[in-house]
Amino acid sequence: MNTTRGKFIVIEGIDGSGTTTQANRLVEYLRTNGKNSILTAEPTSGEIGRLIRKFLLHEIHFDEKTMALLFAADRTDHIEKTINPSLEKGEIIVTDRYYLSSLAYQSTGAETTFIENVNFYHVLPDITFLIDIDPEISLKRKTGSNEFYEKLELQNKIRKNYLWAYEKYKDNHRIVLMDGELSIEEIHREIIRVSQSLMIF
Ligand code: ADP
Ligand code: TYD
């Protein structure tokens, strides 16, 4: 039995920055190279995640403080059901969005300390890649989608919040900033290069 704890890698960024694309590419790369790897995302596909999706699709509305609690509850469920069991099995778990999303998105309407407090006990990733990009570019990639946060003014605030969180947490939480204007392939190669240099895999 494999008793070595696995690794937890998170991909973050504003809508259209490429988090889903990069999380998929990374898991594909890891599997091709013989590593046991799983891909997950937040909001999850569980019951709490489904409720959150109704909010994102404008079917129900909650204030950002309530959203911070819902995302934190979804995260706890995600940790208990998937993240911790995967790490115990020695797998590399790649997650499309995690705690940093709550800090960046929910602090558009809730206090940062409230969001920090409700996420305090959540397991920390081994590394987080934050894809930074101008919303004028990333929103154009989201044509046909009209989710709650996908508005230019809001995305500009969310980007600022991400960069604030990066400055505050980059060392303790090991966050690496990526240039989102690079090509999909260039960002992918940089994620692999940095992960290898920091002995993540
Ligand atoms: P997110 O999950 O961050 O909202 P996606 O990964 O779904 O974004 O990407 C949104 C769209 O942008 C997709 O069509 C994807 O192919 C494209 N895309 C992603 N990354 C890049 C990139 N670096 N350059 C150009 N297009 C990209
Ligand atoms: P999703 O359709 O999964 O977008 P993407 O493919 O871009 O990741 O939508 C997730 C949305 O939820 C996205 O706008 C970010 C937001 N979100 C928060 O506001 N707080 C959070 O804690 C998380 C995990 C996501």
- The tens digit of pLDDT for each residue in 69-128 reads 999 999 999 999 999 999 999 999 999 999 999 999 999 999 999 999 999 999 999 999
Residue 13, SS3?
strand
Kindly report the number of other CB atoms within 10 A of residue 84's CB atom: 15
Query: Where residue 8 falls among pLDDT bands split at 50, 70, 90?
Result: very high
Report the distance separating Cα 44 and Cα 77, nearest Å: 9
- Retrieve residue 174's tokens: 């090991």
Atom of ligand 1 nearest to the CA of 183: 23
Tell me the two tokens of residue 37. 């790897």
| pLDDT of amino acid 2 | 52
- Which pLDDT score is estimated for 170? 97
Q: Which two tokens stand for residue 131?
A: 């894809």
1 pLDDT above the threshold of 80: no
Q: Measuring CA to CA, which residue among 139, 75, 68 is closest to residue 107?
A: 68
Name the burial class of residue 165, with classes exposed (0-12), middle (13-18) and buried (19+) by CB atoms within 10 angstroms of its CB: buried
Question: Is residue 46 scored above 90 in pLDDT?
Answer: yes
Note the ligand closest to the C-alpha atom of 144: 1
Cα separation of 162 and 101, whole Å? 8
pLDDT at residue 68, rounded to an integer: 98
Q: Average pLDDT over the chain, rounded to whole?
A: 97
Distance of alpha carbon 134 from alpha carbon 163, whole angstroms:
12
Residue 63 tokens, joined:
């204030």
Burial class of 196 by CB neighbour count within 10 A (0 to 12, 13 to 18, 19+): exposed
Res 184: pLDDT: 98
- What span, in angstroms and rounded, lies between the C-alpha atoms of 187 and 199? 18
**What pLDDT does residue 37 have?**
98
Q: What is the pLDDT of residues 125-148, one digit of tens each?
A: 999 999 999 999 999 999 999 999
Taking only the tens place, the pLDDT of each residue in 146-177 is 999 999 999 999 999 999 999 999 999 999 99
How remote is the CA of residue 15 from the centroid of ligand 1, in Å? Answer: 9
Task: Note the pLDDT of residue 188.
Answer: 98
Atom of ligand 2 at shortest distance to CA of 147?
Answer: 14
> How far away, in angstroms, is 42 Cα from ligand 2 center?
7
**Per-residue pLDDT averaged across 42-49, rounded?**
98
The atom of ligand 2 lying closest to the CA of 42 is 24
The pair phi, psi for residue 81, each rounded to 5°, is -85, -35
pLDDT of residue 57: 98
